[in-house]
Structure formats: C-alpha cells, structure tokens
Amino acid sequence: MGHVGHGKSTLIGRLFHDLGALPPGKIEAIQAMCERRGMPFEWAFLLDALQAERDQRITIETAQIWLRDRDRDIIFIDAPGHKEFLRNMVTGAAGADAALLVIDAGAGVEEQSRRHGYLLHFLGLRQVAVAVTKTDLAGYDKTRFAEVASVITSHLANIGLDISAIVPVSARQGENVVAQAKTMGWYRGPTLIEAIRGFKPLPSLRDLPLRLAIQDVYNFDQRRILVGRVEAGSFNVGDRLLFSPANSEARVVSIETWPHPRPDAAPPLTEAAAGQSVGITLDRPLFIERGALASHPERAPLETEVFRARLFWLGREPLAAGARLDMKILAARAHVTLEAIERVIDPGELDPLTGNAVPRHAE
C-alpha cells in the first residue's frame, strides 16, 4: 500500500523478477508492449494488466500475485494508491496478514501514505514494514532516507503501529530488493525480501472457535441438509452444535459434499474445517434458516442487539445518528439503526473531527 504512483506495482514486479519467479517470456512480452507504446520498460505492467491501468499508468483493481518462496506461499495484494480507489484498497488489505507501505524517497510521506497507515491499524494489521523506494532518483542519499524514515516512523507510532523494518530500495535498479545494494553502503538493515520473510503467518482460522454460517437448507431424498461455509474452526461428525439465534442444539450425523458420491470414491468426510463449504445432516429436525450460525455450545458466540463498532464509511451520503442501515453478517441480513457516533476520524489527518456526522471521505 501507499500513495498513488509511489512505486508499489513496480516493486512487486521487480521482486518477482529478481527471485526468478516470473514465467518465461513475460519480460519479453512487457518489453514488446512498452516499445509499441513508445515508452521505457515498465515493471508495473506485470501487475497492471488492464488497458485503462496501462493507459493511465495507475492501478485501479487490486491484483493478487502468488509466490512460492522457500518453505511457504506468499500472496501479494497490490493495492491502488489513488484516493478514488480507496475502496478497492480497503477490500484488498482486509484479507492480509502483513503490510508493506511503499513511500517514494523524493516525494516523501503524502496523504495516502498517512491514510493507508491509519487503515492498517483499523483493519487489525499489526505487522508492517516500509519500503522507501525510487532512491535512485534521490541520489541514494542517506539524509533524505533518514528524513522520510523519521516522518513515517512517528506517524505510525502515533497510531500505535511498530515498524519491523524500513528498507531503502530502488525497484528500477534492483537495489536492496533481493540483492544487497552496492549504492547504499550506509544501510545495514535487511533487504526487502528479508523483511518480508520476517513476517509471521497469523494463527490459522482453523484454530479459532467453530463458526459455520448456514447459507441454505435443502430437503433431499427425505433428508434435510444444512449447507454452509466453515468460516472458522472445525467440527466432526458426532459433535453437538448450537444454532444461533434459534438457540437450538443437535448432533451432526453426516457431512455431505458434492458431487455425491465423491468422484474419487473417497470415504465420506468425518471432519470439516475453515474454508470448506459443506452440507450437514442432524439427528433432529430443527427449524433453521439461512443466516443461522452454528458453533460448539461451549465456545458459542456472544449474542447482542446493541454493539459498538468501528466503521469505515465509504458511502456517498454523510452518515449521521439515526441512520437505518442494512447489515450483512455472513449469510444473514439485518436492519440496524445507528444510535450514536462517538468519535469521527479522518484517516488522512488523524485528528478527531468535531460534530456527530461522518462526511463523505475527503475529495
């Protein structure tokens, strides 16, 4: 993440190249396209594949790109920096375990650098590294790097985020991306790939309490099958499940999968875990609807009608107390009323705004 045009897509493209992770012919294809367009080689085109993105030289959609690195898989989510696409950036970042904030050494910390920094914290991301890029354009200057590093460190510290590393890089020249820079002998820290390898995977969703979101109920050759997705945790045939909000319990008799029977003639599943979509049959005919949530009774969710939330407001209209909203919770929909707004923060400024309405995010 980071401000528009600061070099995010370029950096990812370069990283994949330097790790030898690009498919054969890819560089040649980009080279040919840049020549057709009469422009210098553009690493960002590896990520920016849409026509409009290449014409306007900005990222619009988040792109995901997958890397097999040593003993683990890393998925890079390249977010757009343009403020018009903040929504795409939030959606992309919401699924991440760690963040890399990219800052142009020459331009320094700008509005979206600050705003994205704040959003990291808001989205619950706690592992953050910073790449200060385009150092080639800033003469690989130590003092300039130190200035940018100090501004972003204090900004993120104010938000409550620690930075694991701040790496001066040049994506264009491949300095400190994978290979250690010869041009920045004054820097002693990790290269970018080392900083990324330092991120720890978050605890698996499988280890959390069971949350099975019921999406539908089928009546199928005399059997009643509840279909849903395991959002977190796991369960076994024979487990007693609690269904909320009906507050009824039953035991799992079978776990059904499709196609049926399974094509490889594998035995029926006895366990299902986070990420799987399954059907289940129960030992009792409960009345359950789409939107119900199944859990283990001893680790049940807290039920409430009133709650406090942190809300990221992207609506076209301002948000004010009394607003009636539709809320989607997994497969359920609910009508809710906003009772009160306690605090409003403009993520670009960090200072609390006065008043009890949330304006449309600043243009």
Q: Site residues (CB under 5 A) for Mg ion? A: 8-9, 59
Nearer to ligand GTP, 136 or 256 (CB): 136
Q: Cα separation of 128 and 166, whole Å?
A: 9
Q: Cα separation of 78 and 89, whole Å?
A: 8
Nearer to ligand GTP, 33 or 225 (CB): 33
Q: Cα separation of 60 and 47, whole Å?
A: 11
Residues that bind ligand GTP (CB under 6 A): 2, 4-10, 42, 44, 57-59, 80-82, 133-134, 136-137, 170-172
Q: In angstroms, what is the minimal distance from the CB of 44 to ligand GTP?
A: 4
Contact 274, 232 (CB under 8 A): yes
Nearer to ligand GTP, 6 or 211 (CB): 6
Q: In angstroms, what is the minimal distance from the CB of 57 to Mg ion?
A: 9
* Identity at 286, one-letter amino acid code: L
Q: Cα separation of 104 and 139, whole Å?
A: 13
Q: In angstroms, what is the minimal distance from the CB of 137 to ligand GTP?
A: 5
Q: In angstroms, what is the minimal distance from the CB of 105 to ligand GTP?
A: 8
Task: Report the partner that residue 62 touches, choosing among ligand GTP, Mg ion, none (CB closer than 5 to 8 A by kind).
Answer: none
Task: Report the partner that residue 10 touches, choosing among ligand GTP, Mg ion, none (CB closer than 5 to 8 A by kind).
Answer: ligand GTP
Task: Report the partner that residue 115 touches, choosing among ligand GTP, Mg ion, none (CB closer than 5 to 8 A by kind).
Answer: none
Q: In angstroms, what is the minimal distance from the CB of 91 to Mg ion?
A: 15
Q: DSSP assignment of 100-135, as one string? A: EEEEETTT-S-HHHHHHHHHHHHTT---EEEEEE-T
Contact 30, 45 (CB under 8 A): yes
In the numeric block, which tokens belong to residue 3? 């401000």
Task: Report the partner that residue 251 touches, choosing among Mg ion, ligand GTP, none (CB closer than 5 to 8 A by kind).
Answer: none
Residue facing ligand GTP at closest CB distance: 81
Q: Cα separation of 157 and 175, whole Å?
A: 27
Helix (H, G, I), strand (E, B) or coil at 63: strand
Nearer to ligand GTP, 58 or 193 (CB): 58
Secondary structure letter of residue 170 according to DSSP: B
Nearer to Mg ion, 54 or 296 (CB): 54
Secondary structure letter of residue 190 according to DSSP: -
**Residues, the chain, total?**
363
Q: Cα separation of 211 and 94, whole Å?
A: 19
Residue facing Mg ion at closest CB distance: 59
Nearer to ligand GTP, 44 or 252 (CB): 44
Task: Report the partner that residue 176 touches, choosing among ligand GTP, Mg ion, none (CB closer than 5 to 8 A by kind).
Answer: none
Q: In angstroms, what is the minimal distance from the CB of 242 to Mg ion?
A: 45
Secondary structure letter of residue 237 according to DSSP: T
In the numeric block, which tokens belong to residue 265? 């003639």
Q: Which residue has the tokens 């003469």?
A: 139
**Alpha carbon distances (Å) from 296 to 110, 213, 332:** 47, 13, 19
Nearer to ligand GTP, 103 or 165 (CB): 103
Q: In angstroms, what is the minimal distance from the CB of 178 to Mg ion?
A: 20
Task: Report the partner that residue 228 touches, choosing among Mg ion, ligand GTP, none (CB closer than 5 to 8 A by kind).
Answer: none
Nearer to Mg ion, 8 or 114 (CB): 8
Q: In angstroms, what is the minimal distance from the CB of 121 to ligand GTP?
A: 20
Q: Cα separation of 29 and 293, whole Å?
A: 49
Q: In angstroms, what is the minimal distance from the CB of 141 to ligand GTP?
A: 14
Task: Report the partner that residue 7 touches, choosing among Mg ion, ligand GTP, none (CB closer than 5 to 8 A by kind).
Answer: ligand GTP
Q: Cα separation of 209 and 273, whole Å?
A: 11
Nearer to Mg ion, 61 or 136 (CB): 61
